[in-house]
């Protein structure tokens, strides 16, 4: 009997060939000016068998950058670079959305000519940031955006969405997860504003709502998704009422009739609604608030992904590390083939090694070296 992972779902405007999506993966391999290059196009083309690729996080403005060699979508050169990627994916029969990103406080003045990063409030993130010179330094206390500045940042998302359309993407995903700018506005621990963007939940949702409004001026809502991470503690971010906050965010996506909500989940249980306590309550509340497609993401394997689909919890399951190391992941999951193990030393920065040199199953069977087989073809317990 065929796995439910390989049935054809309708997700917004798209009818997809199966339910195995590729999660956004920051790889720090953009070229000068944060422009995508031919190597990036090769990487995405190799993975075009995904039901849907969500691109690596892509900054909508120079102030949105917080890591070296991450691509942007705010210059004409970046648009042209991304056209190479979308053309390559489409030529291989795939579909790709651009993830719209602003890091907010998760940055450093060294990226911004000495100016502090911006955020909803002057709350310093925990941990360290990597500078353009590849040094690790402590996060700085960000500069709070003035009320009059917030609509200017919303406009940056709109222009990013417009540029994504110019670059040939099939849609866009709004990055509202992992402690970055939208998440900082949503959560009570990082949003201590007293203007119309802070305080009550309605006010903390306002920035997200305005971004959705701007993006859906450029794209039909059925080609726009939203990524959320309700219980992620990234960079020390917290919220006093996550069930209310994130069901509110999902309800906002419902108001705009977005294509999907993409959830970053804890590793266990799978799916999170199968457990009990706060985790189950929060994710069940999000699922109840949004009746569009739900994309689950977080340490799934073939068995747990199938369970998430069969139970009606998710419509797609996005794989990250497994897609990084297995360009032909959908085939491997369909046929129960061994999974290449990713090389963590090459996740960030570098060149083609650990980026475009992972073998497909056919390549492993047709001339791969013994060393490659030993290094890459171990069975991995998680997808």
Using alpha carbons only, give the angle 191, 197, 200 rounded to the nearest 5 degrees: 75
Could you say which DSSP state residue 35 is in?
B
Decide: residue 76, CB within 10 A, 0-12 exposed, 13-18 middle, 19+ buried: exposed
- Give dist(CA 304, CA 265) in Å, integer: 13
- Cα separation, 293 vs 223, whole angstroms: 12
Q: At what angle do helices 76-91 and 150-166 cross, to 10 degrees?
A: 40
What Å distances lie between residue 317 and 5, 230, 303, 308, CA to CA?
8, 17, 11, 8
How many Å apart are CA 125 and CA 102, to the nearest integer? 15
**Cα torsion for 152, 155, 156, 160, to the nearest 10°?**
180
Catalytic residues: 180
Pairwise CA distance, residues 144 & 10, whole Å: 41
Residue with tokens 């700085």: 140
Residue 272, Cβ neighbours under 10 Å: how many?
Answer: 25
Q: Is 235 helix (H, G, I), strand (E, B) or coil?
A: helix
């Amino acid at each position: 009997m065929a796995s439910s992972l390989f049935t054809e779902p309708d997700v917004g405007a798209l009818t997809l060939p199966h339910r195995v999506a590729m999660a956004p993966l920051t790889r720090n391999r953009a070229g000068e000016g944060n422009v995508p290059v031919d190597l990036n196009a090769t990487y995405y083309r190799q993975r075009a068998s995904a039901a849907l690729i969500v691109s690596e996080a892509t900054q909508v403005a120079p102030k949105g950058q917080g890591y070296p060699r991450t691509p942007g979508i705010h210059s004409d050169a970046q648009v042209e670079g991304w056209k190479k990627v979308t053309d390559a994916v489409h030529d291989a029969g795939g579909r790709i959305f651009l993830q719209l990103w602003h890091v907010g406080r998760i940055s450093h003045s060294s990226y911004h000519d000495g100016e502090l990063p911006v955020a909803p409030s002057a709350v310093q993130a925990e941990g360290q940031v990597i500078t353009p010179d590849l040094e690790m330094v402590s996060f700085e206390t960000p500069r709070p955006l003035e009320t009059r500045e917030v609509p200017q940042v919303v406009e940056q998302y709109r222009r990013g969405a417009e540029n994504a359309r110019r670059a040939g993407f099939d849609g866009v995903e709004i990055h509202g997860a992992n402690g970055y700018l939208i998440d900082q506005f949503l959560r009570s621990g990082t949003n201590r504003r007293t203007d119309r963007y802070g305080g009550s939940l309605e006010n903390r949702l306002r920035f997200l709502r305005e971004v959705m409004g701007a993006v859906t001026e450029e794209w039909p809502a059925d080609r726009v998704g939203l990524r959320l991470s309700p219980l992620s503690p990234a960079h020390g971010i917290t919220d006093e009422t996550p069930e209310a906050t994130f069901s509110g965010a999902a309800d906002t996506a419902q108001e705009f009739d977005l294509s999907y909500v993409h959830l970053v989940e804890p590793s266990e249980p799978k799916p999170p609604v199968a457990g009990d306590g706060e985790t189950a309550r929060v994710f069940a509340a999000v699922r109840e608030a949004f009746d569009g497609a739900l994309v689950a993401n977080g340490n799934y394997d073939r068995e747990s992904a199938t369970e998430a689909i069969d139970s009606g919890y998710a419509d797609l399951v996005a794989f990250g590390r497994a897609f990084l190391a297995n360009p032909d992941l959908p085939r491997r999951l369909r046929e129960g083939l061994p999974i290449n193990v990713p090389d963590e030393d090459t996740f960030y920065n570098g060149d083609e090694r650990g980026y475009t040199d992972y073998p497909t199953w056919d390549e492993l069977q047709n001339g791969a070296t013994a060393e490659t087989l030993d290094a890459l073809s171990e069975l991995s317990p998680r997808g």
